[in-house]
Amino acid sequence: GEDKMHAVPFYALSPTVDYWATLICLAFLVVTVANCLWRARAMQSPLPIIILLGSIGTIALEPMVDVLGSLVFPNEGVRIGINLMGRPMPIYISLIWIFYWAGGVLFVTEMILKGVTLNRWMITGLVFVILAVLIETIPIHYGMWTYYNVQPLRFGGFPLFWGFVNTSAVMGTAAAIVLLDRLLGNPASQRDPVG
């Protein structure tokens, strides 16, 4: 029984789901790139472009997150986009990491630059947790990924604690970016962030 509990599931995804997931994620990526370029121009700062470029590298985190978080992707029926540390990942996963990080981090970064109260910070965090939970249930429903092992407090197959982990990662990264920008003496906050 215990060996089966820790076994990594092996399953296939419908090629139709893979096709639409890839297409939808590609559309989100195009919108994210356009938004980052537009925000860079409006802010008169390279910060949104730096965030976008930095988000590309976050895909390297996926294999570690998968192992630690007991998450797996379909083994068949998907087009593989990248294979890191012996863990093949569908194309749509590579795209998700870019627009998820660039979009979320840029949003929170701009919120900090405009001036944020503790109340607004907490409300934003709560909204991000709720969105993370709701958004994750859609891909899980269609089998784009699945969580295994014993992970209590699930909603639609999604372990709820990951909503807090994802939110902390995005908001913490944004706070670190603003702090680093200020420490480097090139604060984007000296410009008009509203544009």
What's the pLDDT band for 188 if we cut at 50, 70, 90?
A: low
Residue pLDDT, tens place only, 26-40: 999 999 999 999 999
Separation of alpha carbons 80 and 17, rounded Å = 14
Reduce the DSSP state of residue 80 to 3 states and report it. strand
What's the pLDDT band for 15 if we cut at 50, 70, 90?
A: very high
Average pLDDT score over residue span 59-66: 89
8 A C-beta contact, residue 78 and residue 21: no
Residue pLDDT, tens place only, 116-168: 999 999 999 999 999 999 999 999 999 999 999 988 899 999 999 999 999 99
- pLDDT value of residue 152: 86
Separation of alpha carbons 117 and 68, rounded Å = 33
Residue 130: both structure tokens together? 């709720």
Answer with the residue of higher pLDDT: 57 or 19: 19
Whole-prediction pTM? 0.84
Alpha-helical (H) ranges within 70-117 are 91-114
- pLDDT value of residue 1: 47
What's the pLDDT band for 86 if we cut at 50, 70, 90?
A: confident
Separation of alpha carbons 60 and 128, rounded Å = 23
**Identity of residue 19:** Y
What's the pLDDT band for 194 if we cut at 50, 70, 90?
A: very low
